[in-house]
Homo-oligomer: A and B are copies of this chain.
Amino acid sequence: MQLSFLKKPISQHEGMRFPKGFLAFGRNIGIKDDTLDFGVVFSEIPCQAAAVFTRNNYPGSPILVGREHIKSGKAQAIVVNSKNSNVATGERGIEDAKDMCRATAQSLGIEPNLVIPSSTGVIGVPLPMDKIIPACLISKQFLKEANLTEFADAILTTDTKRKVSFYELEHDNRTGVIFGIAKGAGMIEPNMATMLSFIFSDFVPESDNLQAILKRVVDKTYNCLTIDSDTSTSDTVVLLASGQSGTIPEEQFEIGLLEVAKDLTKMIARDGEGATKLIELKVSNAKDEKQAKKIGKSILNSPLVKTAVYGGDPNWGRFVMAVGKVFDELIPYEGLEIFVGGISVKGADTDTKIKLSNYLKTNEFIEICVQLGTGNSEVCLWSCDLTEDYIKENAYYTT
């Protein structure tokens, strides 16, 4: 496995491995400024496809169209624009998302329902179709091999870093690659956090369970991520598996997919708005995974926990409070254990508080373990600290 967390812009692809047969590009078509704002990924052959979309009750138009298109379990291309999310744009927005698929499909010579659309950016403003449709119609000429990183750059908004990760697989003397891309919860004008992630593979699992595999992996990764408790209307994870390098046992495929997704999830957490630290929280000895996740999210969404991590405040009582405020999950206090950076903090004396404060102040990667003492289940969750820069990024209107 190789993980990458590279600064953008990047000009070299040395050391990076790409899945065979996936062509891509990112370019500027002038939606807002002169940065990359449009991209397409195209697989030479139709792929098995699976997707997980936002649970927000007001999904964006591309989500509505994407849900339709993914139903067949097949897809061959993805078309994305940034700077405009096509959310809260009504019937017209849905037509626009469909037109993006049609125009892209026409250029690529495939059926429109094999294209998954995605948009991220300002909400409530119709897409500038005068710029988007011509760009879709000439997609084909820009496609290049080994170019998924350029596409990864085109979907970024206020992320400070490109987010890509890949995993090489070997089976029966054949090699393949699972390659993932994400954009994080950097705020987008006018500031609705959105997470997009696209994952491509030239292997397909031998089983026919792509959607089930993706769902399991999403539950352990993206769904264990919280930046600020808000849920975007555009969150999307799409997986395309071409099989151009053949098939692979489901278990092996899932391990690779999990690594890539976990890696991208951590990158998104670390690059949350204003974040200075990545928090990894393991909740263990829980009654079940549901209980562990509920308690974990209560801790990671607590502004008091997040500000303590930011400033190095050794207030272990905040962790206790965050566990205790989940009214419907009674965790006996005696059995509760809390470790921060390996330091047991419940009932900490002055010396321990100094150690805890030092740990928080001197580390960018903060490990927290909470043992509930109610069973044997365990989950891992990720978040970031809460800083003045989060407030600044989100308080002021910028046009």
A138 interface residue per 8 A CB criterion = no
Closest to A58 in B: B324
- From the candidates B312, B386, B391, name the one contacting A387 in the complex (CB within 8 A): B391
Q: A192-B321, A313-B396 given as contacts; is B390 within 8 A of A303 (CB)?
A: yes
- Among A54-81, those with CB < 8 Å from B are 55-58
Q: A88-B347, A325-B56 given as contacts; is B124 within 8 A of A304 (CB)?
A: no
A88-B317, A88-B320, A307-B390 known; 4 new pairs, CB 8 Å cut-off, are: A124-B347, A192-B321, A230-B322, A231-B324
- Among A315-334, those with CB < 8 Å from B are 315-318, 320-327, 329-331, 333
Q: Are A192 and B395 in contact (CB under 8 A)?
A: no
Q: Are A313 and B88 in contact (CB under 8 A)?
A: no
A32 to chain B, nearest CB (A): 15
Secondary structure type dominating chain A contacts: loop
Q: Are B58 and A303 in contact (CB under 8 A)?
A: no
Q: Are B190 and A394 in contact (CB under 8 A)?
A: no
Copies of this chain = 2
A118 interface residue per 8 A CB criterion = no
Q: Are B324 and A233 in contact (CB under 8 A)?
A: yes
* Complex Cα–Cα for A346 and B87 (A): 12
Q: Are B321 and A229 in contact (CB under 8 A)?
A: no
**A322 contact set on B, CB distance < 8 A:** 230
Q: Are A348 and B233 in contact (CB under 8 A)?
A: no
Q: A58-B321, A303-B229, A331-B57 given as contacts; is B313 within 8 A of A191 (CB)?
A: yes
A233 to chain B, nearest CB (A): 6
A304 to chain B, nearest CB (A): 5
Q: Are B394 and A304 in contact (CB under 8 A)?
A: yes
Closest to A391 in B: B388
Q: Are B394 and A311 in contact (CB under 8 A)?
A: yes
**A88 contact set on B, CB distance < 8 A:** 317, 320, 333, 346-347
Closest 3 CB pairs of A and B: A311-B395, A58-B324, A231-B325
Number of interface residues of A (CB under 8 A): 60
**A333 contact set on B, CB distance < 8 A:** 58, 88
A314 interface residue per 8 A CB criterion = yes
- From the candidates B230, B321, B331, name the one contacting A231 in the complex (CB within 8 A): B321
**A329 contact set on B, CB distance < 8 A:** 57
A35 interface residue per 8 A CB criterion = no
A308 to chain B, nearest CB (A): 7
Q: Are B313 and A394 in contact (CB under 8 A)?
A: yes
* Complex Cα–Cα for A57 and B323 (A): 8
**A211 contact set on B, CB distance < 8 A:** none
* Complex Cα–Cα for A329 and B318 (A): 30
30 contacts between A and B (CB under 8 A): A55-B325, A57-B326, A57-B327, A57-B330, A58-B320, A58-B324, A58-B333, A87-B317, A88-B347, A123-B317, A123-B320, A124-B316, A124-B347, A190-B314, A191-B308, A192-B315, A228-B303, A229-B301, A229-B302, A229-B303, A230-B304, A230-B321, A231-B324, A233-B321, A303-B303, A303-B394, A311-B396, A311-B397, A313-B396, A388-B392
